[in-house]
Amino acid sequence: MGRVFVARAITGDSLSRLREAGHEVDIWPGNLPPHPTELRDALSDADGLLSMLTERVDEKLLGAAPKLKVVANYAVGFDNVDLAATQARGIAVGVTPDVLTDATADLTFALLLAAARRLPEAQSAVRDGRWRTFEPQGWLGASVHGATIAIVGARGRIGSAVARRAQGFDMKVIPVNRGDDLHAALARADFVSLHTPLTDATRHLIDDAALHAIKPGAILVNTGRGPLVDQAALKRALEDGRLGAAALDVTDPEPLPPDDPLLSAPNIIILPHIGSATHHAREAMASMAVDNLLAGLAGEPLPYPAPTL
């Protein structure tokens, strides 16, 4: 039977299925991820790894993990895993698709609405004692109903789920997929929402040029991956007032240091990567990760594999 290293405690009781199958389960204690050297030590005799997006699974790590057969990433994304390196070593990689789609699409809309209607500022006004009367000109925001939204990565699961929600608000959806004219879409949209995977081709997709192409006053929402956006360019666009607001669940790096310049930009909401953070989604992700581990440890094909290169 195998030894599985779990990079952080996870919710639910799915890990018990590994123990019931006779595997040894070693869970990293505490809420912070293991340092890369600690992770390498932990994997020296591990057959399976349950990783988070905080663990870089690269050649250096794999070189220190001679017995590793399977990596079950506790995420639908896999940009933290060097798939060329795992494939070269015959290590199976699994992910957790579908189960977090609705949770992430819901959070996308929560951010979109919060930015459009300026909820954080309005709430601060109440807490700070600045709510003195009904203000006929106070807290005016952008209309969501009937507005136009560009969904970048519209063919993907989460992009499609966001489009369904947008239809419920009678929004006009501009789907943007690979090969489409991004800048033309940005010029027409009141809201732009990012759902494309992070690859070399999509890193800094939203750069200075894109932020100049964007419709003045538009609102950018990112629940995909932080590096899709050039944050220095984003700060400039917010400061110039070219961009109306930005609402981010993901940043580059994560966590964003408390003194990061982006935090002093106007009209920005930043959350700590909580797109999939519902009890239901996280328990389902745990169950799928364990299914992937059980199959990989048994030398069987994974039920939820990462795409092959």
Which residues carry out catalysis?
A: 225, 254, 273
| Segment lying near ligand DGY (by CB under 6 A), choices 15-23, 70-78, 105-113, 172-180 | 70-78
DSSP string, 28-55: --SSSPPPHHHHHHHTTT-SEEEE-TTS
Least Cβ distance, residue 103 to ligand DGY (angstroms): 8
Q: Is 75 in the site for ligand DGY (CB under 6 A)?
A: yes
Which x/- pattern, by CB under 6 A, does the window 272-301 give for ligand DGY? ---xx-------------------------
Who's near 265: CB < 8 A, 6+ residues apart?
Answer: 234, 235, 238, 239, 246
Q: Is 248 in the site for ligand DGY (CB under 6 A)?
A: no
Residue pair 33/53 in contact by the 8 Å Cβ criterion: no
Q: Is 80 in the site for ligand DGY (CB under 6 A)?
A: no
Q: Which two tokens stand for residue 76?
A: 């639908």
Q: Is 97 in the site for ligand DGY (CB under 6 A)?
A: no
Q: Is 76 in the site for ligand DGY (CB under 6 A)?
A: yes
Helices (H) and strands (E) in the chain, counts: 11, 11
Q: How many CB atoms sit inside 10 A of residue 203's CB?
A: 15
CA 41, chain centre distance (Å): 28
Q: Which of 2, 34, 48, 77 binds ligand DGY (CB under 6 A)?
A: 77
Q: Which two tokens stand for residue 201?
A: 């081709």
Please name the residue that has the structure tokens 């595997």.
23
28 vs 215, which CB is nearer to ligand DGY? Answer: 28
- Applying CB under 6 A, what is the total number of residues that bind ligand DGY? 7
Query: Of 210-239, which residues contact ligand DGY (CB under 6 A)?
Result: none
Residues that bind ligand DGY (CB under 6 A): 53, 75-77, 100, 275-276
